Chains A and B, each alone.
Chain A
Amino acid sequence: MNQPRIDTSPRVSDEIRKTTCYMCACRCGINVHMKDGRVAYIEGNRDHPVNKGVLCAKGSAGIMQVNAPSRLRAPLRRVGPRGSGRFQEISWDEALGLAKDWLTPIRKNDPSKLAFFTGRDQSQSFTSFWAQAFGTPNYAAHGGFCSVNMAAAGIYTMGGAFWEFGQPDWDRAKLFMLFGVAEDHDSNPIKMGIGKLKARGARIIGVNPIRSGYNAVADEWLGITPGTDGLLILALVHCLMAAGRIDLDYLARYTDAPLLVDEQTGLFLRDQDGRALVIDRATGGLAAFDGRGVRPDLNAAHPGHRTVLQLMAERYLQPEYAPEAVADRCGIPAARIRAVADEIARVAFDEAIVLDRPWTDFRGERHDTMTGRPVAFHAMRGISAHSNGFQTCRALHMLQILLGSIEVPGGFRFKPPYPKPATAHPKPHCKVTPDTPLDGPHLGFVHGPEDLALKEDGSPARIDKAFTWENPMSAHGLMHMVISNAHAGDPYRIDTLFMYMANMSWNSSMNTGGVMKMLTDTDENGDYVIPRIIYSDAYASEMVAYADLILPDTTYLERHDCISLLDRPICEAGAAADAIRWPVVEPDRDVRGFQTVLIQLANLMKLPGFVHEDGRPKWRDYADYIVNHERKPGIGPLAGFRGDGREVGRGAPNPDQLKRYVDNGGFFVSHIPEGADFYKPWNMDYQDWAVGMGLYDAPQPYLFSLYVEPLRKFQRAAEGHGERQPPDHLRDRLRRVMEPLPIWYPPFEDDHADPAEYPIHALTQRPMAMYHSWGGQNAWLRQIHGRNPMYLPRGVWESHGFADGDWARLSSVHGSITVPVALHAGLNGSTIWTWNAIGKRKGAWALDEDAPEATKGFLLNHLIHELLPPKGDGMRWSNSDPITGQAAWFDLRVKIEKVPPQDEADPGFAAIASPVGRGPRNLRWKVGR
């Protein structure tokens, strides 16, 4: 053979720089290969706790993000009308001076006139610190329109939820049940976990109206009707309780199942110190739940009281929760529901696993082994983005707890700093004083009406009405209501809207067209109703056109960041971990990291906390803050390499800390000792480790809350008890939804969208290879997901006579869109769906105006209003979960009709001027030739 000689050992790169990905919220470790000082290739970091070397399509495409033509280049001041996209480049001195001039009088007179909302921010512990120093109560990130139901239900029920709070025990689970995950949240760890399960022959049950992605590889697919997951879960609870297939030992020891509930008040029986009481099986008498050696009685008889488990049996064993009663609404045959219940019970109890790991619980009892119920669950937005989502998420956690499968081998495991019960979190703060910081953290967990964020006259303290009677437990705020409320002046008017990384005039808002009008609307004097808008983004997104002042951010490879234990952590079940980003390349544009800009602005304004008493700045930029800020003495944004570099968790600031992180691959890990790594809420070895790490200041063992007493307190208020009373128009709803044991009620959309006229549920999912709008500018990723037809199930397809290439008009009670359609047989029969945020506004993201994203791409958002239709009472009812305020995206009902093929999707919008021009025509990307 005459084979050519080839070089099989070419030099791979000049240098590898290890940092943290930001192509989505997953935060994997990446190796950035550099050639000639430029980014040549990105791969996963094998040592990193999140991704262990693998990397998704988005991560590998990061190179097309740092060279994206849509990157903003310099600060911009609006010169055309809002929405036109016409800007003038200005200097940073001018930009910061403008911002200072706008914000200083607000702070001096009424800090609440600033609404500061930070979107998909991963530095919330910092941005909230800034907002607190400014003194406005109006701060939150995007959790309210994302998945606060999941987070809040998990924290209130068990001290943590899925994703950043915990994970399945992928190495030991034998059955994995996945609810409502739209192919992300989180990204690589779920794929890695599914791979591990498959390699071991473990089985997967997917519960999702759409069989794609993870559900396509699930061994069993339950194509559930949207909004009915809670019914399905309560039917499984019914089956398991009826059969006695629940973990009584676990329930008695670690949960509130044996606590005594007063039949009159619905509150727990407590001793003088406020400790909840149980009947001790050892003595037959009352005892505090956490007393040494106490054996709580699940079936206690105590006059005037019922145990929580007794209340549960009385509720969930009712025939209304039997599979036969829910099957039609769920779209799943009763026999299949029962078969799933059987399988869950079989694996949990007949295939239990036992680890020989001794441990000591909080009552002082020593256990020789750890018993695992190897059934693990995971869920995300699919079940939470409904107006019944909080109670549905609660129901799922109740199911897990009944099985005894949380914090045990093979089940679901918390990641530090979780478990952390609601009582260990801050409460919301909202006391505004001119020229003064806020009285405490904005966001938190309420425990009763006394904790609501209300002014003295009972009106909402916050612009988004978080922590009010409309949504008392809105732990992440309601970003989706900010623009609507500010425009309506309800509850009050604001002066400046300041936003970061949130595409509110496009895919991040409900009622997108309406939001554009609100942002450009003028009053009788011709002034904008929302007077000033400041926005920070790295790219020419749709929202840029609607701001008056643009503070251009860097890309993720050009900046410092910390992925902090104080914030949204990246820990593993067996380890605490945090990480940094650092500038692996310097920006080639006049842009600055947003967090650094906030520090520079704070220094100009001399905000308390940011400057010394003599006015000198404490930190010059974000990197300086990351290293030297102390939240409490010895506790800062990063837990690793503190003090002399050897201290972990607690320790003095270390000037070499960032270098140590860089040298360590961009992250830090501290492993939980064996024996402390399960039963964390009750395991004294874990509690002591957590105190040493600085996660808590003292051990804080607690019981899981099947019965959430704070819910009952709001319900009691609605019944007329207590001093702080809800407005009359909300009483009935509060009584109905604030049930202390999980319930199911139909999504609110069903109340006003006649199911006969609007018979179809319409959903979006985020593709695995794209994150929000960011992917659309990515030359590689847009070749995978450049189009988003509306996918229809076979029944709908055939009954309307659709064929390939057809178009349809979809109408909701709010509006209509005209879009291309395609067939997808693997769907719940009454569900249609499309990819999220593929559609782009013409002129945005440096794409050509005839790009398919801008002509045939579309948003479902036009069909979804942030308000429910008027009820004739003059009130504005938000389209949100009534408990947490989570945006009820997935309640949407539509009708469909066939229309002739179109050239472009409707509604179309005029092109916006691009502040960055257009991208190059062709790419032949190769550095260091």
Chain B
Amino acid sequence: MTALPERTERKLGLVIDLDTCVGCHACVISCKGWNTENYGAPLSDMDAYGADPVGTFLNRVHSYEIEPEGGGCAQIVHFPKSCLHCEDAPCVTVCPTGASYKRAEDGIVLVNEDACIGCGLCAWACPYGAREMDQAAGVMKKCTLCVDRIYNENLEEVDRVPACVRTCPAGARHFGDLGDPDSAVSQLVAERGGFDLMPEQGTRPVNKYLPPRPRDRLDGGPAPSAPTRQPHDASGFFAWLDRALEKI
């Protein structure tokens, strides 16, 4: 069993805006590209051109359709999901070798691949399904929050963000310190009612999600003064036009 730090200096994480995510998978592939080339073993693809291609991804987008009870338009929510870097991370405490750990300085949950025996207990323990065993390397892979980008002095400061955040075309992904109430991400969570994923699991995830804004409000309800209800025909229009042109 592996211990969690009592507290972390910072709580780095992602804020993902479900009102804005269009489900384009840009974050999925950018993550795959960066993490294939960087931290640890490459993210492999088994049967890459065959009947059942299965690759390792640290971030996936799922789409859920919600049909409101009692009718109304069905809605799709695009739901990107990766490790939430939980404060009470069950994937860490379950690890028999200490390979899974949570960093004391920033709260990032990582796997030390040299110590990972590929037993898969952590993936069983994670209620979010956020860990994937790489079938070629036999080690557990997970979101590193691009720990090799965010402090990387070989990158310009503006690029020291996770690859998924840098690439997101819609700007639906935000990165920062959720332990600092004054940080931009904390403010965003406060303004938009950011929420924890499955709080009942007691994992205290650091990543937050911003809920979709209400949809389909223009229902044509009572609006007696609405100007487009005026029943002008062509002759009425011409009379109006003459009056209106006088004012120009």
Same complex origin of A and B:
yes
A residues engaging B (CB < 8 A)? 1-4, 6-12, 33, 35, 40-44, 46, 51, 53-61, 63, 69, 183, 187-188, 191-192, 194-196, 198-199, 205, 211-214, 216-221, 223, 239-245, 248-249, 252, 281, 297-299, 309-310, 313-314, 317, 333-343, 345, 768-769, 777, 779-784, 786, 794, 824-826, 846-848, 850-852, 855, 918-927
A920 near B49: Cβ-Cβ < 8 Å: yes
Contacts of A35 in B (CB 8 A): 37
Contacts of A216 in B (CB 8 A): 22-23, 63, 75-78
Bound Cα distance from A63 to B212, whole angstroms: 34
B228 near A922: Cβ-Cβ < 8 Å: no
Whose C-beta in chain A lies nearest to the C-beta of B150? A8
A211 near B220: Cβ-Cβ < 8 Å: no
B245 near A220: Cβ-Cβ < 8 Å: no
What is the count of residue pairs linking A and B with beta-carbon distances less than 8 angstroms? 316
Query: Can you identify 20 A-B contacts, CB atoms within 8 angstroms?
Result: A8-B150, A8-B152, A9-B148, A43-B166, A61-B33, A198-B17, A198-B171, A199-B20, A199-B171, A211-B75, A217-B21, A245-B228, A248-B248, A317-B237, A342-B226, A345-B227, A780-B29, A919-B49, A923-B44, A923-B48
Q: Is B168 an interface residue (CB 8 A)?
A: yes
Known: A219-B213, A220-B215. A783 touches B75 (CB 8 A): no
Bound Cα distance from A61 to B219, whole angstroms: 41
A43 near B151: Cβ-Cβ < 8 Å: no
Known: A239-B228, A784-B25, A924-B42. A192 touches B171 (CB 8 A): yes
Of the candidates A61, A199, A338, A926, which one forms a contact with B220 in the assembled complex, judged by CB atoms under 8 Å apart?
A338
- Interface residue stretch chosen among B82-90, B96-104, B197-205: B96-104
Contacts of A779 in B (CB 8 A): 45, 48-49, 53, 55
Q: Tell me the chain B residues, 1-15 only, with Cβ under 8 Å from chain A.
A: 3, 5
Bound Cα distance from A310 to B234, whole angstroms: 8
A242 near B75: Cβ-Cβ < 8 Å: no
Known: A54-B167, A918-B49. A926 touches B229 (CB 8 A): no
Bound Cα distance from A783 to B60, whole angstroms: 11
Q: Tell me the chain B residues, 27-78 only, with Cβ under 8 Å from chain A.
A: 28-30, 32-34, 36-39, 41-42, 44-55, 57, 63, 65, 67, 73-78
Q: Tell me the chain B residues, 159-178 only, with Cβ under 8 Å from chain A.
A: 163, 166-172
Bound Cα distance from A281 to B242, whole angstroms: 12
Of the candidates A46, A824, A848, A926, which one forms a contact with B37 in the assembled complex, judged by CB atoms under 8 Å apart?
A926
B residues engaging A (CB < 8 A)? 3, 5, 17, 19-26, 28-30, 32-34, 36-39, 41-42, 44-55, 57, 63, 65, 67, 73-78, 98, 101, 103-104, 110, 112, 114-115, 136-137, 147-148, 150-155, 158, 163, 166-172, 212-213, 215-221, 223, 226-234, 237-238, 240-242, 244-245, 248
A242 near B22: Cβ-Cβ < 8 Å: no
B136 near A924: Cβ-Cβ < 8 Å: yes
Whose C-beta in chain A lies nearest to the C-beta of B152? A9
B228 near A342: Cβ-Cβ < 8 Å: yes
Contacts of A69 in B (CB 8 A): 49
Whose C-beta in chain A lies nearest to the C-beta of B171? A195
B73 near A925: Cβ-Cβ < 8 Å: no
B151 near A8: Cβ-Cβ < 8 Å: yes
B26 near A60: Cβ-Cβ < 8 Å: yes
Whose C-beta in chain A lies nearest to the C-beta of B237? A313
A56 near B75: Cβ-Cβ < 8 Å: no
Known: A199-B171, A242-B228, A923-B45. A221 touches B216 (CB 8 A): yes
Bound Cα distance from A216 to B213, whole angstroms: 11
Q: How far is the CB of A829 from chain B (nearest CB, A)?
A: 11
Contacts of B147 in A (CB 8 A): 6, 8
Whose C-beta in chain B lies nearest to the C-beta of A295? B248
Q: How far is the CB of A281 from chain B (nearest CB, A)?
A: 8
Known: A63-B33, A826-B75. A56 touches B218 (CB 8 A): no
B220 near A768: Cβ-Cβ < 8 Å: no
Q: How far is the CB of A507 from chain B (nearest CB, A)?
A: 19
Contacts of B48 in A (CB 8 A): 779, 919-923
B98 near A2: Cβ-Cβ < 8 Å: yes
Q: How far is the CB of A10 from chain B (nearest CB, A)?
A: 5
B213 near A297: Cβ-Cβ < 8 Å: no
Bound Cα distance from A213 to B219, whole angstroms: 22
A345 near B154: Cβ-Cβ < 8 Å: no
Contacts of B152 in A (CB 8 A): 8-10, 12
Of the candidates A12, A195, A855, A919, which one forms a contact with B169 in the assembled complex, judged by CB atoms under 8 Å apart?
A195
Contacts of B23 in A (CB 8 A): 212-213, 216, 768
Known: A244-B244, A317-B233, A926-B37. A61 touches B50 (CB 8 A): no
Whose C-beta in chain B lies nearest to the C-beta of A69? B49
Bound Cα distance from A678 to B154, whole angstroms: 41
B28 near A195: Cβ-Cβ < 8 Å: no
B33 near A339: Cβ-Cβ < 8 Å: no
Whose C-beta in chain A lies nearest to the C-beta of B167? A55
Contacts of B230 in A (CB 8 A): 242-244
Of B22, B78, B101, B238, most A-chain CB atoms within 10 Å: B22
Q: How far is the CB of B117 from chain A (nearest CB, A)?
A: 15
Bound Cα distance from A188 to B26, whole angstroms: 10
Whose C-beta in chain B lies nearest to the C-beta of A343? B218
A783 near B220: Cβ-Cβ < 8 Å: no
A44 near B24: Cβ-Cβ < 8 Å: no
A317 near B232: Cβ-Cβ < 8 Å: yes
B228 near A243: Cβ-Cβ < 8 Å: yes
Known: A1-B5, A54-B167, A850-B51. A9 touches B241 (CB 8 A): no
Q: How far is the CB of A602 from chain B (nearest CB, A)?
A: 37
Q: How far is the CB of A529 from chain B (nearest CB, A)?
A: 35
B101 near A41: Cβ-Cβ < 8 Å: no
Contacts of B77 in A (CB 8 A): 216
A211 near B168: Cβ-Cβ < 8 Å: no
B228 near A341: Cβ-Cβ < 8 Å: yes
B38 near A10: Cβ-Cβ < 8 Å: yes
Contacts of A214 in B (CB 8 A): 22
Having A244-B230, A784-B25, A925-B42, one finds 8 other A-B pairs with CB under 8 Å, namely A57-B30, A61-B29, A213-B24, A243-B229, A243-B230, A338-B226, A339-B220, A924-B136
B215 near A219: Cβ-Cβ < 8 Å: yes
Bound Cα distance from A608 to B215, whole angstroms: 61
Contacts of B170 in A (CB 8 A): 191-192, 194-195, 198, 217
Contacts of B241 in A (CB 8 A): 244, 248, 298-299, 309, 313
B26 near A922: Cβ-Cβ < 8 Å: no
Q: How far is the CB of A30 from chain B (nearest CB, A)?
A: 11
Bound Cα distance from A848 to B213, whole angstroms: 44
A339 near B76: Cβ-Cβ < 8 Å: no
Bound Cα distance from A11 to B218, whole angstroms: 53
B50 near A850: Cβ-Cβ < 8 Å: yes
Contacts of B30 in A (CB 8 A): 43, 55, 57, 60
Of B26, B114, B219, most A-chain CB atoms within 10 Å: B26
Contacts of B73 in A (CB 8 A): 211, 221, 223, 826
Known: A244-B240, A769-B25. A826 touches B169 (CB 8 A): no
Q: How far is the CB of A689 from chain B (nearest CB, A)?
A: 30
Q: How far is the CB of B209 from chain A (nearest CB, A)?
A: 14
B226 near A41: Cβ-Cβ < 8 Å: no
Of the candidates B37, B49, B148, which one forms a contact with A40 in the assembled complex, judged by CB atoms under 8 Å apart?
B37
Bound Cα distance from A826 to B65, whole angstroms: 8
Whose C-beta in chain A lies nearest to the C-beta of B77? A216
Q: How far is the CB of B152 from chain A (nearest CB, A)?
A: 5
B218 near A191: Cβ-Cβ < 8 Å: no
Of A6, A33, A309, A846, most B-chain CB atoms within 10 Å: A6
A335 near B237: Cβ-Cβ < 8 Å: no
B232 near A781: Cβ-Cβ < 8 Å: no
Of A40, A55, A310, A846, most B-chain CB atoms within 10 Å: A55
B169 near A192: Cβ-Cβ < 8 Å: yes
Known: A1-B104, A216-B78, A924-B42. A43 touches B226 (CB 8 A): no
Known: A3-B103, A54-B168, A313-B234. A345 touches B46 (CB 8 A): no
Contacts of A60 in B (CB 8 A): 26, 29-30, 32-33, 167
Whose C-beta in chain A lies nearest to the C-beta of B45? A923
